[in-house]
Amino acid sequence: MSWATLTLMDIDCGRTTGLNEDCEVIVSADHSEYQAGGNVAVTFGEDGAATFKDMIVSGAENNPHNIILNGEQKALAVALSFENTDHFTLDMLNDAGYPRTFLVAGITNIQWPNMEPPPIKLIPQTVPPTPWPTPAPVSTLFPTPSPTCPFTAVSGSCVVTCTCVSSPNYPQNYAANDACVIGVARPTPLITKDFSTEAFWDTLQVNGKSFSGTDGPENVVAEGTISWKADKQDQDKGWQICASIPETAPIPAPPTPTITVQTTEPCESSGALCVQSPNYPLNYGDYQTCSIRLPAGTLHVDEFFTEKLYDTLTVDGVSFSGQTGPDGVEVSASSVIVWSSDWGTTHTGWRMCAEPPATTTAPTEEVLNRPRSVPLMFDLPSVTNEHPWLLMLCGITGIVGGLGILGCVLKGCGAVTHFEDGSSSESN
């Protein structure tokens, strides 16, 4: 290689060592240049090899976390440059009674002091996926009736059901001195189904008004209680009244949503069923992320080229990167697809489309009545000097309407094929 550079970091010791003990020592003879921090001791051997040794006691609190080193971390680091070599060797020594770790980076701001820190990657807040397509809101056209029955029996022998009430023994005559009280749960319009009592003496009271004879409480909105009382003479068949409950209009079905692509920026829709990475077919950018929803179907990838392992397209938890995209992956309307790139290398990205599931049609009667097999007969000549070899390749090449098609190839000889209808063909 023409040149290479690397940084050795965190050259320190976790405890005080003896005069002749080495804690973290690195020896390099193949480098062409070096830069050493102020807290790294540098000595040279007779063979010209440079030895870099720790000078301070420190724990893990100053370990670097990225390529931008602070002043303390630079003082414990060494930058090495290599030119015109295809290999190099580093000797790393440790006389401490416990393992020590050397940190090595291919690039830091020691080699490039003007290096700016990369922008902070903003990770979007994780929220539950929104159902897609979003269901249309359902509006109730009429108030929903209370589940409580409008009528309840309080006392007496009147016949009470949930929505209707009748005099005792209805439709037969009620008895002398019958009486009852019926509770009304809420203001309820009444419908008189039948009404026949002794006028003036056998009465039904609704909202403080008395009804008798053939005049029932039609369309009266009852509240509180309903009372019935008969005297001891002239009984009739009585009455039946019911609650008028408005019919609830059927709720119209929500409109069928249009199947389209949904994506957040910066990813882009490309046609009705396709989506592509930002700026495609040019390179996408750093620290880009987006969420994608596609209609149910099979993914077909036109192109896929990202930084392997770091710039990923994730489909239902499975990540794809490099030049391996989600071609042929099945997705549903609820599948979650996320694109994410990091800082650094970028490529042209990707473009993919969702092909809806194929609709199948029932086979026609003609197809169903086709024969399931076709007898084939072959006349094969004997192998002679004129035809020293015979190669016959046969195989099932497809299924059409339940019919297996047997395809054969005959090479190097003459062969006659006879069909069931009496025709034949010759192959060479």
CA dist 314 and 303 (Å) reads 16
Beta strand pairing status for 151-156 and 179-196? antiparallel
pTM score of the predicted model: 0.30
pLDDT averages per 10-residue partition of the chain, 428 residues? 82 66 82 86 85 78 78 86 86 70 74 68 56 57 58 90 92 93 92 93 93 93 93 92 80 63 85 88 93 90 93 94 94 91 91 80 59 46 44 39 40 44 51
Q: Supply the pLDDT for residue 282.
A: 93
Where do the domains of the chain lie? 1-114, 151-243, 262-355
Q: Supply the pLDDT for residue 407.
A: 42
CA dist 353 and 329 (Å) reads 11
Contact 55, 40 (CB under 8 A): yes
Q: Supply the pLDDT for residue 43.
A: 85
Beta strand pairing status for 25-28 and 90-93? antiparallel
The number of C-alpha atoms within 13 Å of 273 and in the hemisphere containing its C-beta is 17
Does the domain spanning 262-355 belong to CATH 2.60.120.290? yes
Contact 11, 77 (CB under 8 A): yes
- Write b or e for each residue in 132-164: b if 16 or more Cβ atoms lie within 10 A of its Cβ, otherwise e: bbeeeeeeeeeeeeeeeebbeeeebebbbeeee
CA dist 75 and 286 (Å) reads 31
Question: What is the identity of the amino acid at 86?
Answer: D
Q: Please report the DSSP string for 183-222 in residue order.
A: EEEEEEEEEEEEEE--TTTSEEEETTEEE-TT---TT-EE
**Distance separating the N- and C-terminal Cα atoms of the chain:** 60
Q: What is the Cα gyration radius of the chain?
A: 46
Q: Supply the pLDDT for residue 415.
A: 43
Domains 151-243 and 262-355 share a fold: yes
Give the pair of three-digit tokens for residue 49. 């090899």
Q: Supply the pLDDT for residue 40.
A: 85
Q: Among 319, 311, 357, 324, which Cα is nearest to 336's? A: 319
Q: Supply the pLDDT for residue 251.
A: 77
Q: Supply the pLDDT for residue 187.
A: 92
Q: Between the CA of residue 282 and those of 277, 287, 352, 415, what are the distances in Å?
A: 9, 16, 15, 58
Q: Which CATH architecture has domain 151-243?
A: Sandwich (2.60)
Q: Supply the pLDDT for residue 391.
A: 39
